[in-house]
Amino acid sequence: MISPSNKARHSVFLTICIMGLFAILSSTMSKNPVLKPFASTLGTPTEWIGFIASASTIPGILVSLPAASLSDILGRKKFLLFSSFVFASAPFLYLLINAWWQLILVRFYHGFATAIFVPVAEAAIAEMFPARRGERISFFTSATHVGRVIAPVLGGYILFFTADNFHVLYMAVAVAGVAAFIMAFTMLAEKRKPSIAQEGKATETTKRLLSGWRTVTANRGVLIVGFVQACQYYAYGTVEFFLAGYLPEIVHLDKFMTGIIIASIIGVGIFARPYMGKVSDKIGRRIPIVFGCILSGLSLLVISFAAEFWILLLLVVIYGFGFATVTASTPALISELVPKELTGTAMGFLDTIMDVGQTLGPVISGFILATNLKYYGVFPSLTFVMLFSCTIFILFGIGKTK
């Protein structure tokens, strides 16, 4: 039987998961599949399309760490509330856009929502379930990925049904964002002692913030786990972007088959991540991370030599399972490598370096694609990156139980 305190924790956890589903559904539907055609109708110059695509990722690099760190001091709830306000308000700004440069500004503002929400939510979950943090954080991530999978399908249907009425689609985006905002208010109020910042001592708050950053960045284990995470998302960002070109151009698959293969990466993760998080809670983080790195790395090596739909689908499913196995363990592990009061800081650091990896992956891989190796250089290079990060992780003995 669950005690009242446990019931309360489970209630907050489910609220965060449902909030995450609606929030990520909203933010993903705002860009996929609408962003490119919307930008084109605004007359966006070709050289600025990339800036529109990446504008929402920049806040992740800028604010994930500071916001999550401040949540260690000021409490999680107010940051979850603020991020949910951005999720709810940003969609309405799209309705006011009448110039392409305004779209960049709105995308930049919208990016603050996910940049703040995800690491703070993960930190809150890690604190609530210290013995099951791998499973619970993974369940939360899977909930957000459900929203990520639904978004392009729902958005595409709305555009089709309304004959490309972008305003109607962004109203749907707003409904999902407002739903996340409403869910945030259902969370129980935090009961904690007044923080230093609340007592008006901003200088002391700054000192605590900087001290936390120094502690986290001086921790060798944290840096290596962050490196593994960055390499995983370096590969993921590349795979997600370049498979959309490789499959139709080189393998000559149609759009439907290409969509199935790409969607399967997220799909397998939705189901595999909570299970693998639970496994890592029981056997430790080290084995799942090593196993996942090797599995995902080797599957990508074979992709560039496969030409059959079913073989490619199998390889991508294997890659997705390996990716889910690693990322189900890294947030839990990094939260265990720092003092409890720095859980948010650790999560913010992990999300920041993750965004750096996901941003660099397509850029560097684009240069490789431009060489004579083309795709035969892109996918093997990802294998090298992941096996290298795995080797570093093993050599430094991170995650070993004493």
Secondary structure (H, E, C), 192-226: CCCCCCCCCCHHHHHHHHHHHHHHHHCCHHHHHHH
The reply to whether 171 and 236 lie within a common domain is: no
Same domain, 32 and 180: yes
Predicted confidence (pLDDT) at residue 199 exceeds the cutoff of 50: no
d(CA 110, CA 103): 10
Q: Are residues 173 and 288 in the same domain?
A: no
Residue 203 domain-assigned (yes or no): no
Position 246 scores a pLDDT of 84
Residue 243 C-beta-side C-alpha neighbours within 13 Å:
27
Q: What is the pLDDT of residue 266?
A: 86
**Final residue belonging to a domain, choices 129, 159, 185:** 185
Region 115-130: mean pLDDT is: 94
**If you average pLDDT over residues 102-114, what whole number do you get?**
95
Residue at 209 is within a domain: no
Cα gap 235→230, rounded to integer Å: 9
State the pLDDT confidence band at 332, using cuts at 50, 70 and 90.
Answer: very high
Q: How big is the chain by its Cα radius of gyration, in Å? A: 21
**pLDDT band per the 50, 70, 90 thresholds, residue 401:** low
Determine, yes or no, domain membership for 267: yes
Shared-domain flag, residues 170 and 224: no
Mean pLDDT of 38-53: 84
Scored b (16 or more CB within 10 A) or e, 365-389 reads: beebbeeeeebebbbbbbbebbbeb
Please state, for a pLDDT cut of 90, what percent of the chain lies above it. Answer: 59
Read off the pLDDT of each residue in 259-264 and give the average, rounded to a whole number.
83
Distance CA 361, CA 337 (A): 27
Residues 374 and 309 in one domain: yes
* 27 and 174, same domain (yes or no): yes
Does 126 reside within a domain? yes
User: Which is more confidently placed, 265 or 400?
Assistant: 265
315 pLDDT exceeds 90? yes
- Kindly report the average pLDDT of the chain as a whole number: 89
Q: What percent of the chain has pLDDT over 70?
A: 95
Q: Does residue 229 fall inside a structural domain?
A: yes
Residue range 228-235: mean pLDDT, rounded: 95
Say if residues 335 and 281 touch (Cβ distance below 8 Å): no
CA–CA distances in Å: residue 307 to residues 89, 176, 317: 45, 39, 15
Query: Which domain covers residue 301, as residue numbers?
Result: 220-397
pLDDT of residue 156: 85
Q: Which of 185, 212, 241 is the last residue of a domain?
A: 185
Is 188's pLDDT higher than 80?
no
Question: What per-residue confidence (pLDDT) applies to 193?
Answer: 47
- For residue 200, the model assigns a pLDDT of 52
Q: Contact at 8 Å (CB) between 364 and 233?
A: no
> What are the tokens at 331?
């947030």
Query: Is the same domain home to 224 and 89?
Result: no
- pLDDT for residue 124: 93
Count of structural domains within the chain: 2
* Same domain (yes/no): 178, 228: no
pLDDT at position 57:
82
Determine if residue 164 is left, alpha or beta; phi over 0 gives left, psi from -120 to 50 gives alpha, anything else beta: left
For residues 299 and 294, give the distance between their C-alpha atoms in angstroms, rounded to a whole number: 8
pLDDT of 192 over the 70 cut: no
Q: Mean per-residue pLDDT for 247-263?
A: 83
Q: Is residue 193 in a domain?
A: no
**Which of 140, 159, 185 is a domain's end point?**
185
**Does residue 200 fall inside a structural domain?**
no
Note whether 348 and 228 are same-domain residues: yes
Residue 197 lies in a domain: no
CATH number at residue 42: 1.20.1250.20
Q: Is the pLDDT of residue 311 over 70?
A: yes
21-25, 245-249, 305-309: least confident range? 245-249
Residue 197 has pLDDT above 70, yes or no: no
| Together in a domain, 225 and 173 | no
Q: Looking at the structure, do residues 42 and 155 belong to the same domain, yes or no?
A: yes
CB contact burial 159-195 (16+ within 10 A = b; e otherwise)? beeeeeebeebbebbbebbbbbbebbeebeeeeeeeb
245 and 387 belong to one structural domain: yes
